[in-house]
Structure 1
Amino acid sequence: MTHRAAGTARAAELAEALKREAGALGFDPVGIAAVPAGERWQLRSAALERWLAAGHQAGMAWMADPRRQRIETLLPGVRSLLAVGLNYYVAAERLPGTPAVARYGWGRDYHRVIEGRLRRLGRWLEATVPGVRWRACVDSAPLMDKAWAEEAGLGWIGKHGNLIDRRRGSWLLLGHLLTSLDLPADAPATPLCGSCSRCLPACPTGAIREPFVVDSRLCIAFHTIENRDPDLPAPIAAALGGWVAGCDICQEVCPWNQQPLESSKDPDVQPRPWWLGLPAEEALSWSDALWDERLRASALRRIRPWMWRRNIRAVLGRAAPRPTP
């Protein structure tokens, strides 16, 4: 065996070992992408530029961070990326008439969960290959996470803008481990939405302006989580349909999410006991202190207590209380 062939064989063995370790940490699917990326990623990068130019990011100025399209600024010398998915689908439903919360917010803060597990994976990699450099990234990092996951073969980006896996549907939380190692890449995923466009008309505010283009200015998830105005826009408030934190409508109608799905047993994604039967009036009455206690270690802490009450009032059709003169 030549030196080059021996090096290639070792890299392949290391890649498989890295994937096994990721699987042992609860990640599935997993895949590897080479840096720099291929043509598909370049098309996604160009689409991001068009999306930003159209103002679809609304108030999310961080989406224009130039590092998002320059992965080497996150880890100088990066040569490969391990993309991982964490299944957060749990076969449970909220009681009718209770406030709706996006499924990703049912359990513990996925940023902490995924980053913690990726750091363990990075330390394993460093112990296996002394001197290797790595960085763990979740979606709070300026990285085109869905595009890189697609490049690594985890799934394809659907017309609703979410990554879809053939077995898991789109109920996947994503993470990435950047590394200075040259590892053999997996084939990018093949898009399988075909002619289906159920997600477009399902959106009650028309936020999916065209396939693969979500206008945050019209998105219920954006307004319930990111909008810091005292009141929600009237058309958004009228269309909430019970959603007080995020929105899953475009995912719920997707055929890939209507197949029999494995319900995750991962303790970190299980719903808090009171989530699925929380009466709106009770949630509206929470003090700031009780809100802080109930949403401890939750991804929904991005919503401030006053926003939580604003959203619930909008769902109940009540105007915000005004200070007395």
Structure 2
Amino acid sequence: MSELPIPSDQQLSHMLKQRAETEGFSPVGIARLPGSRRLQLRTAALERWLEAGHQADMGWMAAPRRKDPTTLLKGARSLLAVGLNYHVDVQAAPGSLRVARYGWGRDYHRVVDQRLRRVGRWLSDQHPDCEWKACVDSAPLLDKAWAEEAGLGWIGKHSNLINSQRGSWMVIGHLLTTLDLEPDEPARSLCGRCKACMDACPTDAITEPFVVDSRRCIAFHTIENRDAELPDQIADALGPWVAGCDICQEVCPWNHQRLPSSDDPELQPRPWLLNLNKDTLETWDATTWDTHLQGSALRRIKPWMWRRNAAAAQPNPPSSL
């Protein structure tokens, strides 16, 4: 019995993107290494960002491997970039503390990684001599720049990736491979003169277009800051946010269109995250915290940090209308 012929680069690229879509990824795209001139500009921008100290305590952002994907997979020649829509058309209860949408469901690192690995095993079945590596945003990779290169969307002035049909409510992942795949056209920026995200940031963390100073960012301080007290500037501007911050995404015009709402079971919000108040957080013991944060990306925020953040938060009062 003869073996099935190995598909051409173009055929395999099309099949690979279709396989990724069956895992719930959309949009999907392919880029070739080492990338276009834009990747060099993004790498240079990262260097300037680090030199300015905008990474705050996130020392891992300076990992040299971040500049070259072949350090993650020797011989890598292409990558599949995927987006996973986490927008669910529900809102937090009026007057409650706020949690960034990315953390509402199951830990997206696990979700994206597991699904990308299934895509990778499928790729190995099609082309047994290839090698691949799944990457989520915890890997030292310029993930948003490569997603932009693969045509998933463009990096907005708030530094999040924006897709013209899905807005910015998506997490991204990549599958590096040693195969030569057919690349897609890089995305073109459509932010224009809009600076809604910059104007809306209560701490002026977006110091210039595409530059976010983590030292001023509410999301950084509520998730990464391990100090006993939040800086006064952050505490005064915290509003209802106790885990991340979505302000710059909420005001983005690309998120004001009718967006698809995910029905993915793994991305549905845990009810407690939509109706959270200070008194509740103060009563939870270690077992309760462990139960609520099991399998959640928000486990990175320790219980004492939740209480610290909540103590400074100022939930918006319920509307009287």
TM-score class, shorter-chain normalisation, is over 0.9
Amino acid at match of 1:129: H
1:314 corresponds in structure 2 to: 312
Amino acid at match of 2:252: C
Unaligned runs of 5+ in 1: 1-5, 318-325
The offset of 1:285, in angstroms, is 2.1
Q: Quote how far apart the aligned CAs of 1:316 are.
A: 5.2
Write the mapping of 1:45-84 to structure 2, written as runs, cut at 5 A: 45-84=43-82
Q: Which residue of 2 aligns with 1:112?
A: 110
Equivalent-residue separation in structure 1 for 2:126 and 2:283 (angstroms): 52
Residue number in structure 1 paired with 2:128: 130
Amino acid at match of 1:285: T
TM-score w.r.t. length of structure 1: 0.94
Alignment RMSD: 1.3
Does 2:251 match 1:253?
yes
Q: Deviations over 1:33-87 (max 9, x none)?
A: 0011111111111100000000000000000000000111000000000000000
> Do 1:69 and 1:144's aligned partners in 2 also have CA atoms closer than 8 Å?
yes
* In structure 1, distance between residues paired with 2:21 and 2:281: 37
Q: Distance in 2 between matches of 1:126 and 1:284?
A: 50
Q: How does 1:201-220 map to 2 (within 5 A)?
A: 201-220=199-218
The answer to whether the aligner puts 1:304 opposite 2:302 as a matched pair is yes
Structure 2 partner of 1:161: 159
Number of the residue aligned with 1:285:
283
How far is 1:145 from its partner?
Answer: 0.3
Q: Structure 1: which amino acid aligns with 2:172?
A: L
Taking the aligned partners of 1:315 and 1:279, their CA distance within structure 2 comes to: 10
Deviation at 1:281, TM superposition (A): 1.1
Counterparts of 1:18 and 1:80, CA distance in 2 = 12
Alignment correspondent of 1:238: 236
CA-CA distance at 1:139 after TM superposition: 0.2
List gaps (5 residues or longer) in structure 2: 316-321
Aligned partner letter, 1:240: L
CA distance in 2, matches of 1:174, 1:258: 21
Q: Is the 8 A contact 2:98 2:243 kept in 1?
A: yes
1:3 is aligned to: none
Distance of 2:231 and 2:277 partners within structure 1? 24
Counterpart CA distance in 2 for 1:72 and 1:286 is 45
Which residue number corresponds to residue 320 of structure 1?
none
Among all aligned residue pairs of Structure 1 and Structure 2, give the percentage whose two residues are the same amino acid.
64
Distance 1:62 1:125 in 2: 30
Q: What code does the residue aligned with 1:88 have?
A: Y
Partners of 1:140 and 1:204 in 2: how far apart?
27
Alignment correspondent of 1:179: 177
The answer to whether the aligner puts 1:191 opposite 2:165 as a matched pair is no
Q: TM-score, normalised by structure 2?
A: 0.95
Cα deviations across residues 269-300 of structure 1 (Å, max 9, x unaligned)? 11012221223311232122211110100000
Q: Runs of at least 4 residues of structure 1 off by over 3 A?
A: none
Q: Distance in 2 between matches of 1:65 and 1:182?
A: 27
CA distance in 2, matches of 1:93, 1:280: 18
| Conservation of the 8 A alpha-carbon contact between 2:98 and 2:242 | yes
Match of 2:272 in 1: 274
**For residue 319 of structure 2, what is the aligned residue in structure 1?**
none
Tell me the amino acid that sits aligned with residue 80 of structure 2: L
**Is the contact between residue 111 and residue 138 of structure 1 (CA under 8 Å) also seen in structure 2?**
yes
**Structure 1 position 233, deviation (Å):** 0.4
